[in-house]
Structure 1
Amino acid sequence: MKKILKVLLLSVTGVLLISVITTILVLWAMDMLNKKGIQEALDFVQNNPPATIWETVIMDLGFYGDAEADPSYGRRLVPGRGHAPWVIRSNLDERPRVLNFALAPGLWAAYQTESASLYQVWRGGILFEGSVYDYVAGPQPTSTGKWFLRSENTTEWKLRQGGRTLPARVRYLGHYYSADRTTAGFEFLLQAGDLQAHLRERPEVTTADGETVFQRHVHVESDTADLQVIQGVVSGDDLVLAPGDNLLSTPLSNPTLIPERGDPLANLDGGDVDVGEQVIANSDCLGCHAETHRVVGPSFARIAQKFRGKAQAEPIEALTDSIL
């Protein structure tokens, strides 16, 4: 009787195992056909050994996490947009909490969510590097190509009513999609004393007279009568928005090459700036850390406090292990 039960148990286990393997293969085959097409999928199976095929199956279906870490994995490409997904939150160019829009193939717009302001419009792409994407600590996503619009200055928001103009605080509320996910934008609150405004911005690109035009559709809502919303940069021109719908159009011309990141040690000259500060300034550390306050990771001051009073070798070893 025990032998019969053992045989039955092994048989059931075998059937379940075969079912699981079959399901995995079917899911992978469907994914492969969807991504590459029949001919390329057949070529892959015919030209690779079983071990390579199984490794690819496991990686593609996300059992190791690599596939899911790929920003394009399992995402539906929206017609006319240049990436899947076409709206991405990430660090970018050492700036934390950036919202990126792939508005058209090869054409991107990026906003800094902390200040709810436009950072860059460029033709090119994003190099997705870092622990989230390739398990390498240190690097962060960077923009590549040529930029049309770029703001390196600090952005300020103000609210104006009557004869008073007050600096406003930004409260980012997140991004949103239309019902069919073909358009998207973000929304935020501006608060200054008893004044408040709710803004929604939706970026787009269009073509006019053969020229590519970047459009910012900004909707302003407020219960305050005669309110004006002002966005400007330090030592720069102001942009005044009225309640209701605002359309800001900028032709995209005269692109400028985005500089490549250099060697973090290339600029060490032993001058007045501390060597450590130069290394940090030329690395991706500032994408996650600031001197006195938390960004993505702890502040440099907090890290220094943690290792205060310890021999130099100990923090070096601990920080090296953490970074690498």
Structure 2
Amino acid sequence: MTILFAVFLLSLLVIIAVAIIRAENLFVALMLTTIFSLLMATNFFILDAADVALTEAAIGAGITTVIFLGALALTSEHEKPFVAVPWLALPVVAVTAALLIFASFDNPRLGDPEAPIHQHVVPWYLEQTPKLVDIPNVVTAILGSFRAFDTLGEVFVIFAACIGVLFLLSARKPSETRCTAPASVGLSQHLIPKVAGRFILPFIILFGFYVQFHGDFGPGGGFQAGAIVATGLILFALLEGEERALRAFPRWIMMAMAAGGALLYALVGVAGIAMGGKFLDYSVLSSDPIAGQHLGILLIEAGVGITVCGSLLLIFHAFAARESF
């Protein structure tokens, strides 16, 4: 039954991918990509990758859709027709695809229990997590402790991407933005979105905090929680308008969050060195190594969530503050 459902999902993914390629209306293409992300989240859930599924749903189908809608509002509804067909692109793409497909033949077969990763790495994580970290969610232990340096790099990548977007979209003076335009009143004049949005807004924020602090025990963590909380605050901006949203949650707070979360993560690593351990070694943060691991993971996950939330909010408001490209 699971195989049949997986084949059904794969068929839908192929159909939607073809529809996205053929779509000339950008709004239609955006909605199709959102559906594609939701189907991918379902596929990850079937593969028992609940953390990845939650991330795909929150980032791919959630916050990304909102940001693309903001970008779409600054462009035309339809893509511009090609003046000249880029024939050179066809052989370049074909050769690149052929090389990638050829390289994929060296990968282990999907689900192969004899794959190298299942001979040493995975058994070590499964055996050592209860002894060294002692949390139920092994994924959180791997990403937050064993591979904490990789996760730190990902946080700074998000921070750097936020800076890049702000450089591109925040070049105009505040007087040239549309924060004071009549359209900045948002959806407050529409009764149904206003009532429904205000009703679900606190539950979105609450669920975001649940995902943040429940990541040790189940699917979740800072990345997903930051995106969910940012989605709730973006919903508030859509309901009440850009100007009121910035009064309630000013830009300087978002900037402090984007930089402060990454700084908090790095400071946890520095604290480990200062207390006689290694960088991002949480065991020295407490007299009990297990308690130190729990404290360190809690702090760095908070840093991840803060940076993700602040960065996504800054990116959204950078789009919302412009009338056009």
Please identify the structure whose Cα radius of gyration is greater: 1
Decide which structure has greater strand share.
1
TM (normalized to structure 2)? 0.26
TM (normalized to structure 1)? 0.26
Decide which structure has greater helix share.
2
Question: Larger RCO: Structure 1 or Structure 2 (Cα < 8 Å, ≥ 6 residues apart)?
Answer: 2
